[in-house]
Amino acid sequence: MEYLDCLNEAQKDGVVFTDGPCMIIAGAGSGKTRVLTYRIAHLIKSKNIDPFNILALTFTNKASQEMRIRIEQEVGSDARNLWMGTFHSVFARILRAEASNLGYPSNFTIYDTDDSKSLIKALVKEKGLDNKIYKPNVVLNRISAAKNRLISWSSYLQNPVFQADDISQLKPEMGNLYKAYSARCFKADAMDFDDLLFNTNLLFKDFPEVLHKYQHRFHYVMVDEFQDTNLSQYLITKKLAAVRQNIAVVGDDAQSIYAFRGADIQNILNFEKDYPDLRVIKLEQNYRSTQNIVNVANSIINHNKAQLHKNVWTQNEHGELINLMKATSDNEEGKLVASSIFEEKANHQYKNSDFAILYRTNSQSRAMEEALRRVNISYKVVGGLSFYQRREIKDLMGYFRFVVNQNDEQALRRIINLPKRGIGSGSIEKIMVTAYDHDISLWEVLINVKSFLSPKAATAVHDFVTKIRSFKIIAEQSDAFKTADHIAKESGLLKLLYEDKTIEGLNRYENVQELLNAIKEFVDNPDELKKEKGLGAFLQEIALLSDADTDKNNEQEQVTLMTIHSAKGLEFKHVYVVGLEEDLFPSQMMLTSRADLEEERRLFYVAITRAQKKLSLSYALTRYRYGRLKSCEPSRFIEEIDPAYIKVDRKWSSEKFSGVSSIGATKSNYAKNLVSGIQRQKLKPLNGKAQLTATINFVPSDTSTLQEGMKVEHPKFGFGKVLRIDQEGAQRKAKVYFENFGEKTLLLSFAKLKIHNS
């Protein structure tokens, strides 16, 4: 058991404690992947557990593949027999085997987000609803949220709270859209991403014999990134582990940042309530970052009330203090960051790939991109259009999908007239309506179109059907690559792209060739688990890829630009966290409750802990947002950093700071002067009582009657006096003097002010 020799005591406990419920709280950079990897190897090597009886769930295919490789190095090829993968990939595998119980064929299609939105758009049109009110992404998010809470369409329609909520949002048909969407997916033999979990829960609830089978198959259940699980995922794992109670979850509540996707931090905070005999192991030694970075992260996260307390520490070097940079504008911020990277590369021989620029929202990348281009620094933006979302790729994949599943409505709509073959939108709608009205499959309609389509359109459909039949025969007899290559050529798509000699056309043609390369790689993969090499197996693998899995530029020599959400799980030598301003980070939308604010603080914690050697923070005094120049104030998160670990480097600030030493700071001058004295202070309201926020039950007044000399209250700046009212076209502005913040010019169409009569 040589692998135990390279572990610290806490890590070793996490590996060897295998029987009974266990929760491993893993601080950032504490080696959780190593522990999870060796834990599985220990079960196989030392306890002689059959890999077929081990279930390990991750959040990306990339993570599971890397772990499998490392386990294989320890135990040999037996590691290939592990049930290891993402929640969606593992349960899609179970659903394929058990699909008939739920009325699905084993070759059901998995709809991606575009497919779902396209179907919802069609349903909104069919029902005659306003597409500006029932926007596809809004409807899909509502349906997704319901499924993640295991609320079926029938339960949704019977719930008066949901109905009242929808009516208040002027969307009374939301429940009926959910019902129609579910029915159409079922008719198309399709499941969306959320269905893979929803239907697994349904399978285990309604078919106890199926649950019993998998409970006795999986003797050990392990979950990585447990803080990111939603209710549906938690209930599945809890059911599977119910017989033997050998469940181990690994995670860090301080890195729970996906509530908007349905993740529930209460799963990890309350895990002990479900397992009173729980063994809790804390991995607190950080191997990634310098002491200063670890200390800054601790000082931030300690402000959260809802947390599992741990004391993260490191034996690494102290490292440099954290840089704080102030810019006059967002464009200036970009220039400061780009200049800093340029000089860091020159002075320390860093590579572009050593740097990452992290931001709260994707729109912030623009200023950074422009600045990096000016100094000729190569970069990549993570989170752009992924390879499998490109139009030409989805077109060819549409053919693949329809060949595998002739009831796939979205695939049919995409390919039936591509390349153009004389089947217009009117004919397509007649085909769809006939299938719905007679409650028959699309394929049945397609092979009987002569009765209701014009002779020309019917002939075109007949030729299309003949082509699909020939493709289906090839698919049944050949592997995925031979089938795909044949379809690409015989469908006419490859020829269509080849004849387009524009730069865009050449790129699209090369992208299709790259898709065929990927399919060849899939077929040639020696992994023994992939015994099925057909087109259907390839489609399932692609449907379950995440953005992290499809990033083909990981190894390129480029500075990485990404949102903090995308950066989770990554690390870089030098990290820049930009845009640290109130209403941007923390986001204005996350200030309505303590739970939301604490999630934003965890997001900041994740950003900080991506840094290995050096961390820089920046903010701007003005920023264009929604087409208007807005004055900004520094984020409250800056104030929460222990001043002992921060410095303001005058070189990388657009104007000099006052009161903070360029080589360090003390608490006394930090509290008074940090960020040019703009730090929030206790305000003195009219009643003389100090407070930090607006008065209780703050309600903005109608400012149409606001006049010079009036006393007003602002939810952030406190109490002030109106100095002047200006009218510029349709915009009405007020210049207000606030005692603790000085003069502020506010747009009255946006500003929230409460007028005080005394």
Residues taking part in catalysis: 32-33, 224-225, 255, 610
**CA quadruple 155, 161, 167, 169: dihedral sign:** negative
Residues 15 and 133: their CA atoms lie apart, in Å, by 53
Whole-angstrom distance, CA of residue 98 vs CA of residue 22 = 30
Rounded to a whole number of angstroms, the distance between the first and last alpha carbons of the chain is 78
For the purposes of burial, counting CB atoms within 10 Å of the CB of 604, is it exposed (0-12), middle (13-18) or buried (19 or more)? buried
Collapsing DSSP to helix, strand or coil, 729 comes out as coil
Beta-strand relationship, 731-738 and 742-747 = antiparallel
Bridge partners, 620 (sequence order):
327
d(CA 679, CA 676): 8
User: Burial letters for 293-313: b for 16+ Cβ neighbours within 10 Å, e otherwise?
Assistant: bbbbbbbbbeebeebbebebe
Note whether 606 and 564 are within 8 A (CB).
Answer: yes
Q: Which of 745, 570, 686, 662 is nearest to 322 (CA)?
A: 662
Torsion of CA 548, 302, 272, 15, to 10 degrees: 60
What torsion do the CA atoms of 502, 503, 509, 514 make, to the nearest 10 degrees? 180
Distances (CA, A) of 659 to 322, 615, 668: 17, 21, 10
Task: Give Cα 464 to chain centroid, integer Å.
Answer: 39
Q: How many residues does the chain have?
A: 758
Q: Tokens standing for 332? A: 């200036």
List strand residue ranges (DSSP E) for 569-632, in order.
572-577, 611-620, 622-625, 628-631
Burial of 416 (0-12, 13-18, 19+ CB in 10 A): buried
Distant-in-sequence, close-in-space partners of 291: CB < 8 Å, separation ≥ 6: 314, 316, 317, 318, 319
What's CA 226's distance to the chain center, in Å? 15
Strands (E), 338-480: 355-359, 379-381
How many CB atoms sit inside 10 A of residue 692's CB? 9
Q: Is 492 helix (H, G, I), strand (E, B) or coil?
A: coil
The one-letter code for the residue type at 58 is T
What backbone torsions phi and psi does residue 105 show, to the nearest 5 degrees?
-80, 160
Helix (H) or strand (E) segment spanning residue 718: strand 718-728
